[in-house]
Structure 1
Amino acid sequence: MASLRAFQTEIEQIHAKSAAESKLAPATLDKKVKAKDAPDVPKAKETPQELAHEDDEDLAGVQALLLGDETSHRKVTDLIAAVVTRRRGECLVRLGLHPPHELLYTSSGLLPEPSVEDSKTWTGERLTEEQLKTAISVLAGLMDGIGAKVTRLFEHATRATCLIRIPPPTVESTPEVRCAVVGNVDSGKSTTLGVLTRGALDDGRGRARVGLFRHKHEIETGRTSSVGMETTLYGLTSGAPSCVFLMVGANAAGLIGMSKEHLAISLALSVPVVVCITKIDMTPANVLAETIKHVVKVLKSPGCRKTPVFVQSVETAAEVSQTFVNKRLCPIFQLSNVTGQGLDQIRTFLNLLPSSEDEKRFVKEQALEYSVTEVWSVPYTGVVVNGIINSGSITAGDAVLIGPDSVGGWINTTVKSIHRKRAPVPSAEAGQSVSFALKKMKKGVVRKGMVVITKTETPPKAVRKFEGQVLILYHNTTLQRNYQAMLHCGNIRQTVRLVDMDAAQGVLRTGDRATVIFEFIQRPEYLKPGMKLLFREGSTKGLGVVTNLL
């Protein structure tokens, strides 16, 4: 039986290799340099983790400089300006003694000042209350000179974590963080989203979620109907979320119903998970304790291997937002949308999450590739598509190709206008979620799963058959040739047939791994080697990666 963790690692390696090959493909001969003639250049720190660690080291000396003279203050300005530029307009500055993460993540609130003996494991330099006030005042004045704002995240007499952020000039230029919200029915998904997006608490009878209703029957029944298993899968594969918020009702006594399915799919797709336990104001203490116990047990199980961190202070929320992805942590928030308990922590966490645009899978230097995830027909405008730019950039008025159609062809069109965050923008680039208005297109021609690419004489070929490596996560009997399932791969959602497999005896069972040839049932699609795929049919689930186009 293959290991899920080992298979996920191999998927990431295949994806990285395919991405590297696609970067080298358009390189011209005059740009190539022979290895023997190339000078020795030290390897640059490219990963966000390495850059963040380097920035933290640079900012470690800011505290002493803030308490120095004017020359020191100029050094602070130059240093923070450089870091803010690298970090898309924001960074965190820590002043005073700060507890180690091991202690902070197991605390039940804001930790007091340590003794001299205990402070040996803490980071930073001890400050008096007056020194801290002086440092924050000087920092605010210096940052005001470069157009940045300083926000103190939590109140403590002798330590502080300050968020330094340059306000974006317009709403549409604000960096975006894409998060998926999943959970069982009646777990508080719509109410929590309503409270976080509207800013007003719930009245205990569903007032906060009314603003999310889009259909008449939703208003009549009080339930949002746009959330289902297929919708969840499509959102996780096509929406490129940075993390998944798993909503668990405190009165549900643990992970029940679809919550386990959503958690399993998120883990299979290697998307970081954040747990929100809702309705704590109306749940008896013994039931809440049982729910927490069950959630922790599932997170620590061999299938998850996550370290649960209960976020009960803003300080913990600030630190865990920067580290939970790399250290396999699972933050757990306990919320009440009626009393507001826990909302400050989750708002701070969301505010400090790194931008989804910074992820390495989005490459600005390559040709345009835009995945279509929604299609509308807007009066007096025409066909409007929504999606994410996977690579390249686009400007209003550019001629593009959209496809593939039902026979694998590509259609010429022009991008009339671009909207981002409901505001018109002249251009957009890789990693951003935007909408295009397309010129002279009919809605029946455009569908979810299409891509928009740069206009070229030799467009890529759409395929009906492809090869992939798969791991069967669950199947109650055996998988054989000609088995059909629903495939989710990026923005593609279509039924496929298993044409061939290299499995012994021609069958696959739970835990088996094999190279499989898939065939689309309805129409050809645009695929690239390295794309992750997930297929399911009933309770059957399989994870894989595209390795070859046939």
Structure 2
Amino acid sequence: MSGDRALLRTALARGEQEGGSVEFKERLTRELHLASGRRESLAAQLRHRVLSGDGEAMYVVGVTDGGGIAGISQEAFSETMDVLSLLAEEAGAHIEDVETWGTEDGGLVGVATIVDGGTLEVADDHLIVGTAGHVDHGKSTLVGSLVTGTPDDGEGGLRSYLDVQPHEIERGLSADLSYGVYGFDEEGPLRVDNPDRKSDRAAIVEEADRVVSFVDTVGHEPWLSTTIRGLVGQKLDYGLLTVAADDGPTTTTREHLGVLLATELPTIVAITKADLVSAARVDEVEREVERLLRNADRSPLPVSRHGVEAAIDEIGDSVVPIVRTSAVSREGLPALDTLFERLPKTARADGDFELYVDRSYKVAGVGAVASGTVKSGTVDVGDQLQLGPFHDGSYREVEVRSIEMHYHRVDHAEAGRIVGIALKGVREADVERGMALLAEDADPEPVRAFEAEVMVLNHPTRIHTGYEPVVHLETISEAARFDPHGGQLLPGDRGTTTVRFKFKPYHVQEGQRFVFREGRSKGVGTVTDLLD
């Protein structure tokens, strides 16, 4: 809920006027206000308010016709927003923002800002890039300079745009996934003045022919599981691994590169902080990166020697471009712009709608919101979906109230979109990371155990029956028991094992790839068969 009531006071002070942009409503219901005749009249009224406000109107909800604070229940407020959204759509407008406040008796009062223009039709060309790299190797700063087009101050000032928690900003360490966005039109890059300002990010999504979203992951070892979640759980097109020129590849660099390559994600390596060291040192680090890639059976392609065109043509399962960069001097950033503008989208998926929940939160007046990347299919406002599995293995029917993409409301989303979906029919407390949103006619079976082909990347000894790592599959992060066929697996081994989740079932499918880890022990696998 909003703390500052200035917007509410302003709207109440203006009051309802014949030619004004403010409208008071205690509540709206589907049964009464969407009935034939009434709906057209209310849509015309809304259109009049928007035009009177030069393209913007304010609807104050939970108040009497005279502006007295009445307050309505959470359920009534949610239904009112649903109805208001439909009326706005019919009037050629959309709800841009909603602020709410609590009343003394536990009710809600709110102000919905409605602006001219229908809901956004987003560009089909949407690239999603996952960043990785050691702590303080400049991931967030590099992304900040790309999306704003401005040089860093040399102190990592741009990083604060992507750090989402106060303690992250204070310490200069990212501890959760964060997101950045910029785009391209026929004239070149479209950037944001302030990535913190949601209207800036929404404008990029609205205006760009190609949208590039960055899933900025975590470089500090204690949060390696969060990085794995960002790289495995999002529907990424490319990976961007940063290696600082003043530090060179580290153990974390090798771990992150292992995850990127094990998940078969086309990857670019950015050597960052080139402004801090000599040209000879940059050459040395580039050679270290080349050796690291060759040891992983990949062919390095330094862009400084072979050019951007070669990188665009050759990037893939076996070729990894290397770009020298500096967020301070912006060296190498035009090359990254060219890559992100012209690289083909790789994460395409047809079929029924499917999304794995990465985050869930509650929005006052809206209810439960599940966010994540659409894995396949499409979804529209008003669709009926299935959510689950819950702890007992059941799936629950839910309805899509609204869809938001980078702070802009949309009516439709398809595979590859990072979206927040407001759900009707479930409490936010019941929505958990790792759950799946599926099409209404899907026939899902909860999975507690499966067979898998695995490769052990590193382990101090051998893996025996009963080994219990954490399995990262899509957005699932769950402890599981391994029972290798043959009784054991050695470091570097490939083999077959039964994997059984310890605490609850999940939505798992044959062919899905996963990462497992326990301490510094790590491996990758592919689901081969589902077990009862």
- TM-score normalised by structure 2 residue count: 0.66
State the match for 2:514 in structure 1: 533
Q: Which residue of 2 aligns with 1:29?
A: none
Alignment counterpart, residue 493 of structure 1, candidates 473, 477, 496: 477
Distance, in Å, in 2 between the alignment partners of 1:420 and 1:219 is 24
Find the counterpart in structure 1 of residue 58 from structure 2: none
What is the aligned partner in structure 2 of residue 545 from structure 1? 526
Selected match of 2:264 from 254, 260, 270: 270
Match of 1:44? none
- Larger % of strand: which? 2
Larger proportion of helix:
1
Note if 1:379 corresponds to 2:364.
yes
Name the CA distance, whole Å, in 2 between partners of 1:391 and 1:174. Answer: 14
Alignment-mate amino acid for residue 453 of structure 2: Q
Aligned residue for 2:430, secondary structure, equals coil
CA distance in 1, matches of 2:353, 2:359: 18
Q: Distance in 2 between matches of 1:428 and 1:180?
A: 20
Corresponding position of 1:39: none
SS across alignment from 2:258: helix
1:276-320 per-position Cα deviation (integer Å, ceiling 9, x unaligned): 11111111233323212211221222xx2222222238x922442
- 1:320 counterpart = 2:317: no
Is 1:412 matched up with 2:412? no
Match of 2:463, SS state, is coil
Q: Distance in 2 between matches of 1:266 and 1:392?
A: 25
Residue aligning to 1:355: 345
Q: Report the secondary structure of 1:255's partner residue.
A: coil
Q: Is the 8 A contact 1:172 1:423 kept in 2?
A: no
Deviation at 1:525, TM superposition (A): 0.8
Matching of residue 310 in structure 1 with residue 302 in structure 2: yes
Would the aligned equivalents of 1:278 and 1:335 in 2 still touch at CA under 8 Å? Answer: yes
Aligned to 2:167: 217
Query: How far does residue 509 in structure 1 lie from its aligned partner after superposition?
Result: 0.8
Alignment match, 2:493: 512
Q: 2:452 aligns with which of 442, 452, 468?
A: 468
**SS of corresponding position for 2:416:** coil
Q: Cα 1:421–1:215, aligned 2, differ >3 Å: closer, same or farther?
A: closer
Q: Which amino acid aligns with 1:210?
A: S
* Further displaced range: 211-220 or 442-451: 211-220
Paired residue for 1:261? 255
Give the unaligned 5+ runs of structure 2. 1-118, 177-217
Letter in 2 for 1:547: T
Cα distance between partner residues in 1 of 2:156 and 2:488: 49
> Cα deviations across residues 3-33 of structure 1 (Å, max 9, x unaligned)?
xxxxxxxxxxxxxxxxxxxxxxxxxxxxxxx
Which sections of structure 1, spanning at least 5 residues, go unmatched?
A: 1-168
**Contact 2:235/2:416 (<8 A) preserved:** no
Deviation at 1:218, TM superposition (A): 2.4
Change in CA separation of 1:385 and 1:318 when aligned onto 2, cut-off 3 Å: farther
Q: Is the contact made by 1:318 and 1:348 (CA closer than 8 Å) also made in structure 2? A: no
CA distance in 2, matches of 1:261, 1:483: 21
CA distance in 1, matches of 2:293, 2:262: 14
Q: Report the AA paired with residue 323 of structure 1.
A: E
Matches within 5 A, 1:120-519: 172-226=122-176, 227=218, 228-252=223-247, 254-301=248-295, 304-312=296-304, 316-325=307-316, 328-357=318-347, 359=348, 362-363=349-350, 366-456=351-441, 459-498=443-482, 500-503=483-486, 506-519=487-500
Alpha-carbon distance in 1 for matches of 2:479, 2:261? 23
Report if aligned partners of 2:120, 2:409 keep a CA contact under 8 Å in 1.
Answer: no
What root-mean-square deviation, in Å, do the aligned CA atoms of Structure 1 and Structure 2 show? 2.0
Displacement after TM superposition at 1:182 (Å): 0.8
Residue 250 of structure 1 contacts residue 279 of structure 1 at CA under 8 Å; is this kept in 2?
Answer: yes
Residue equivalent to 1:155: none
Could you say if the C-alpha distance between residues 510 and 463 of structure 1 is closer, same or farther in structure 2, counting changes exceeding 3 Å? same
Q: Deviations over 1:443-485 (max 9, x none)?
A: 11001111111224x7322021211122222211111111100
Tell me the alpha carbon deviations over residues 201-226 of structure 1, each in whole angstroms, 9 at most, x when there is no partner. Answer: 11112222222222222232233232
Deviation (angstroms), 1:514? 2.3
1:16-72 CA distance string (max 9 Å, x none): xxxxxxxxxxxxxxxxxxxxxxxxxxxxxxxxxxxxxxxxxxxxxxxxxxxxxxxxx
Residues of 1 paired with 2:352 and 2:301: CA distance?
A: 41
**Mapped contact 1:401–1:455 kept (Cα < 8 A):** yes
Deviation at 1:424, TM superposition (A): 1.8
**Which amino acid is the alignment partner of residue 320 of structure 1?**
A
Q: Distance in 2 between matches of 1:281 and 1:208?
A: 16
Contact 1:296 1:308 in 2 (8 A): yes
Distance (whole Å) between structure 2 residues aligned to residue 221 and residue 203 of structure 1: 17
| Distance of 1:225 and 1:465 partners within structure 2 | 31
CA–CA distance in 1 between the matches of 2:352 and 2:325?
Answer: 44
Identity %: 32
Shift in CA distance, 481/381, structure 1 to aligned 2, threshold 3 Å: same
Measure how far apart 1:486 and its partner are: 0.3
Give me the whole-angstrom Cα distance separating, in 2, the residues matched to 1:512 and 1:343: 40
Query: Partners in 1 of 2:520 and 2:137 — Cα distance?
Result: 22
**Counterparts of 1:185 and 1:420 in 2: how far apart (Å)?**
28
1:390, CA displacement in angstroms?
2.4
How much does 1:432 deviate? 2.8
For 1:390 and 1:240, locate their aligned partners in 2 and report how far apart those are by CA, in whole Å.
Answer: 6
CA-CA distance at 1:398 after TM superposition: 1.2
Deviation at 1:177, TM superposition (A): 0.8
Q: 1:383 to 1:352 in 2, by over 3 A?
A: same
Mapped contact 1:322–1:352 kept (Cα < 8 A): no
With normalisation by structure 1, the TM-score equals: 0.64
Deviation at 1:184, TM superposition (A): 0.8
Instruction: Give, as a single letter, the amino acid of the residue that structure 2 aligns with 1:312.
Output: S
Partner of 1:147: none
Closer, same or farther: CA 397–527 of 1 in aligned 2, 3 Å: same
List structure 1 segments (4+ residues) > 4 angstroms apart after TM superposition. Answer: none
User: Aligned residue pairs: how many?
Assistant: 368
Q: Provide the C-alpha distance between the structure 1 equivalents of 2:249 and 2:152, rounded to a whole number of angstroms.
A: 24
The separation in 2 between residues aligned to 1:222 and 1:370, in whole angstroms, is: 31
